[in-house]
Amino acid sequence: MDSIFETFIVPLLVLAVLALALLIIGGVLYFAHFLLTAPMRRAERARFFLDLIETALDRGQPVEEALMSAAKSRDRVLGARFHLLTAILVGGQKLAAALAFVPRLLPPQIVAMLKVGQQIGDLKKVLPACRQLLRDSVSKTRGATNYLVVLTFVVTPLSLFVFAMLCVKVLPSFRQIAEGVSATPPASLMAVWDYAFLILIVQGLVMLTLWFLGFVYAAGPRALEWMPFLHRIYFRLPWRRKRMSRDFSVMLAVLLDARVPETEAVQLAADCTGNRVFQGRAGRVAESLKQGTKLTEAIQAMDDAGEFRWRLTNATHAGDGFRAALAGWHEALDAKAFQQEQAAAHSVTTALVLLNGVFVGAVVVSVFGFLVSIINAGVLW
């Protein structure tokens, strides 16, 4: 009976445990892949939606009819939210009003931009800004982002696990060996031993911070709903603020060229940024406009540096409209935002590499120092 158990049952149990472990690892990897690719799927869904709108406009077909016609194909690629939108459109709602009932179909900024397009009666004018926003969502710094993902979900957790095992298994054995041969452990090893708990806490906090940032990245617009304080953080990030300024300026120029009242134009343009801090500043501009202040003076509240006011003042004297006059500045804002985002991504990646390198170096030096002390003690014997 024992031989049968050892021959058949034990290998089957081992295989079952291995299969379960592989299943768990596969599930974790799939879940991580699902989260990290969520922004790309959202961008692709929005890009397809904009393609449908642009195709309908090129054909001279009402956008609502084109979307309802696409839904009749019952293609699963369109998604449940798209079919929900078309069901609302069948009831006679306009596109902008229907999108309000399906808030997670498109990013809030694109919904606001499409609303601006319907406000001025020309959706084509806002489509380039919508596509630019989608290009922002799938960052051009993808190479640095990939390295950051590896450091966040592989290197940092692995180094934390290895150091925890060293503290539990290896370092106590080293101390016993040192006491047995009357060797004096090196100061570096004693420092690692004495501050092991603090080192683990620091590593854990770094890892949790990186995981939180990864969660915010994967959650996308939902993160702003769950954690409103992110609006202030995003406003303080220089590259995000430049892109907000770009989107606000583009939409404001389109609205002003369409002769939309200045107060309404400022508020609609601010909605296209999707940031409450920016919208709050736009509210102060609107209040100043209602009190009779000129737009070129009231707009100072949107830009602490005063560059936007200067650009807008020059644009008022241009004969070819606000949009054409501000186009060069919009391109400059986009280029600066890309440079700042790239610098930030590479800085964080480099800092993590150096941090892990210093940690590994300290552990290696301590271990080899201990081995040297044992050898010296053995020679003295």
Closest by alpha carbon to 67, among 29, 25, 105, 23?
105
Hey, what domains does the chain have and what are their CATH numbers? 38-137 (1.20.81), 142-227+344-380 (no CATH), 234-317 (no CATH)
Per-residue CA distances from 171 to 163, 313, 378 (Å):
10, 69, 20
pLDDT score of 381 more than 80:
no
Q: Which of 3-17, 184-198, 243-257 has the highest mean pLDDT?
A: 243-257
**How far, in Å, CA of 258 to CA of 33, rounded?**
44
pLDDT at 116 over 80: yes
Report which residue type is found at 197: F
Percent over 90 (pLDDT), the chain: 14
How much is the pTM? 0.80
Q: What are the tens digits of pLDDT across the range 41-58? A: 888 888 888 999 999 888
Q: Hey, what's the torsion of the CAs at 10, 15, 20, 26, to 10 degrees?
A: 160
Instruction: Report d(CA 18, CA 22) in Å as an integer.
Output: 6
- State the sign of the Cα–Cα–Cα–Cα dihedral 87, 132, 245, 121: negative
Q: How far apart are CA 11 and CA 6, in angstroms?
A: 8
* Contact between residue 272 and residue 248 where contact means Cβ atoms under 8 Å apart: yes
Distance CA 115, CA 301 (A): 24
CA-closest candidate to residue 94, choices 72, 71, 114:
114
CA 239 vs. chain centroid, Å, equals 13
Between 241 and 169, the more confident residue is 241
pLDDT band at 27 (very low <50, low <70, confident <90, very high): confident
Residue carrying structure tokens 């009819």: 65
* Digit-coded pLDDT (tens) for 267-302: 999 999 989 999 999 999 999 998 888 888 888 888
pLDDT score of 152 more than 80: no
Q: Given this model, what pLDDT does residue 284 score?
A: 92
Burial 351-361 (b: 16+ CB within 10 A, else e): ebeebbeebee
